[in-house]
Amino acid sequence: GLQGSGVMLLLGFGRVNWPTWVPWSVLNIETDKKRRLVLKIMGLVGLGVSATTMWFLYTAQPVPYIVGQCMAYSLNGVSRNVPPNLDAFLYMITVPIPFFVSTDRNVKITGALITVGLFLSHIINKEASTSVWCFFAAIASGYIVWHFVTQRSIERSVARNHLKTRNYSDAHSMY
């Protein structure tokens, strides 16, 4: 029903979308060739993580429950024949680490916010870390929005000044 759809949407966004989206997004703004190659590999790993997680979510039909005023999710009936914490390890490779591969300072700051958020989520409430992680991901998202808004404002200001300078030069070059 509606609850199951909401759970799948939330977990799908964070656990399926991010491992693929993050490495490819960072790749799109990276200019260094060697780093681009590393990000492509991380993106391919991310596709694998996303596909595997999608399969686990589809077969497990996660059920939400409350733990310490946070939402946690049980994966019903899925026998996971993978080493413990392998999913967390692969998530770390594909979500926070690509930010640190980038040469862009603001991308690295975003990576630091995400990494700190992931670790704090596990410290605050390991069982409900996915729910707690959403709070920290929102903080990182706020930083991303702030960065792009201020960057656009700076670019507009530079463009206006360039246009004024060009118009001034053009007007004075006629004489």
Q: Is 66 helix (H, G, I), strand (E, B) or coil?
A: strand
Listed in sequence order, the residues at least 6 apart from 89 whose beta carbon sits closer than 8 Å to its beta carbon are none
Q: Please give the structure tokens belonging to residue 75.
A: 């994966």
At 125 the pLDDT is: 85
> What tens digit of pLDDT does each residue of 89-144 get?
888 889 999 999 999 999 999 999 999 998 898 888 888 888 888 888 888 888 88
DSSP one-letter code for 17? I
Supply angle C-alpha 141, 142, 144, rounded to 5. 65
pLDDT tens sequence across 129-153: 888 888 888 888 888 888 878 877 7
Which tokens sit at 104?
């862009």
First to last CA, the chain: 75
Tokens of 153: 């404002």
